[in-house]
């Protein structure tokens, strides 16, 4: 039986030794190791009683396992309160093109300071690193480059492994579905002191994710976690006004969850925002979504998610509607397109 067709866990209660099991898995070797890790993750992710405290225990295990990550978190690079950490879980059941990457570029062109975590694809045709590579955009390779990129062009694309090389060597390519680490790790491993975060997770438990991120990274004052199910059974790690949408807001030591229900997304919308068949197609869709003269579902989806990044970057001043108008103007004025060209020409 493949991991994709595993039955639900037989118990709703995670193992009390989940962190100890994780430590054993991280240090173990052998041909059966990845299967054991997936089974462990499947059991814990499916447990209805999993709490933020459970996830923090796993986080502490990873931090203790990876001395580079431990060092970065002990002394994170301070990029100021206007900086937003942006990441997505991937592993959607409705695959879209690299929306969060395009949204990060658009938000940066509208004045936000953005650190975008990237990785190669595990569960889709193209990951953010694949698309950026196709476009000729280089990720940063050091903490020093990260600061310079944000200061000079407003955005830095950061491979997660830069902050957690030992853990990434064990984790990469293991999971094709949302797993316990999906709730907090993509944001938590970015060793940057910032003002806020925006995270998309392909799971309805946005509140659990927001609590876990805030507990793992109390130095991040506020942030948003979003998901949507534009059509029944099709979950994405982005914000969209179709189907069922959830938005968790973290800040001031608390988390609130907003849920909205809209009409289901029509087939033409699903087709317009779907991921392409290869890296070339997805890179082209990303670029087209930022072009000043284009319009349609892809542009709208990118603007919706860029508005959330922009809104968080201002400390939530004004409304999301105001932020949406702001990023729309940045796109149709050509600023987003020009930033994309600058990123392609920039040599780190």
Domains, the chain = 13-70 (no CATH), 79-345 (3.40.1030.10)
Would you give the DSSP letter of residue 159? Answer: E
What pLDDT is stored for residue 6 in this prediction? 30
Digit-coded pLDDT (tens) for 253-277: 899 999 999 999 999 999 999 988 8
What pLDDT is stored for residue 147 in this prediction? 94
Contacts of 94 (CB under 8 A, 6+ apart): 229, 230, 231, 234, 235, 236, 270, 274
Contact between 160 and 35 (Cβ < 8 Å): no
> Residue 3: pLDDT band by 50, 70, 90 thresholds?
very low
Quick check: pTM over 0.85? yes
Digit-coded pLDDT (tens) for 80-115: 999 999 999 988 888 899 999 999 999 999 999 999
Distance of CA 104 to the CA centre of its chain: 11
Contact between 114 and 107 (Cβ < 8 Å): yes
Distance of CA 115 to the CA centre of its chain: 11
What pLDDT is stored for residue 15 in this prediction? 47
Contact between 290 and 284 (Cβ < 8 Å): no
């Amino acid at each position: 039986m493949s991991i994709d067709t595993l039955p639900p866990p037989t118990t709703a209660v995670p193992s009390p030794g989940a962190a100890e099991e994780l430590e054993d898995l991280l240090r173990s070797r052998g041909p059966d190791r990845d299967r054991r890790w997936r089974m462990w993750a499947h059991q814990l992710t499916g447990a209805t009683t999993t709490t933020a405290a459970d996830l923090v225990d796993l986080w502490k295990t990873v931090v203790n396992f990876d001395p580079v990550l431990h060092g970065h978190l002990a002394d994170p690079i301070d990029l100021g309160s206007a900086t937003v950490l942006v990441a997505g879980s991937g592993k959607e059941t409705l695959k879209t093109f690299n929306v969060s990457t395009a949204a990060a570029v658009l938000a940066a062109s509208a004045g936000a300071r953005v650190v975008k975590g990237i990785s190669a694809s595990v569960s889709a045709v193209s990951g953010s690193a694949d698309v950026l590579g196709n476009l000729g955009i280089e990720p940063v390779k050091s903490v020093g480059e990260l600061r310079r990129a944000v200061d000079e062009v407003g955005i830095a694309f950061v491979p997660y492994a830069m902050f957690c090389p030992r853990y990434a060597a064990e984790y990469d390519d293991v999971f094709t579905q949302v797993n316990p680490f999906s709730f907090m790790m993509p944001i938590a491993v970015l060793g940057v002191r910032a003002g806020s975060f925006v995270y998309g997770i392909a799971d309805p438990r946005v509140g659990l994710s927001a609590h876990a991120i805030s507990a793992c990274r109390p130095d991040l004052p506020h942030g948003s976690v979003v998901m949507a199910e534009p059509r029944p059974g099709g979950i994405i790690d982005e914000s969209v006004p179709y189907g069922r949408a959830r938005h968790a807001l973290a800040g001031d030591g608390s988390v609130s969850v907003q849920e909205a229900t809209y009409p289901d997304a029509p087939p033409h919308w699903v087709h317009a925002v779907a991921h392409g068949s290869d890296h070339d197609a997805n890179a082209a869709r990303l670029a087209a979504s930022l072009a000043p003269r284009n319009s349609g579902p892809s542009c709208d989806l990118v603007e919706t998610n860029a508005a959330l990044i922009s809104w968080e970057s201002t400390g939530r001043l004004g409304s999301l509607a105001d932020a949406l108008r702001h990023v729309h103007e940045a796109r149709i004025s050509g600023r987003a397109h020009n930033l994309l060209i600058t990123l392609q020409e920039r040599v780190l």
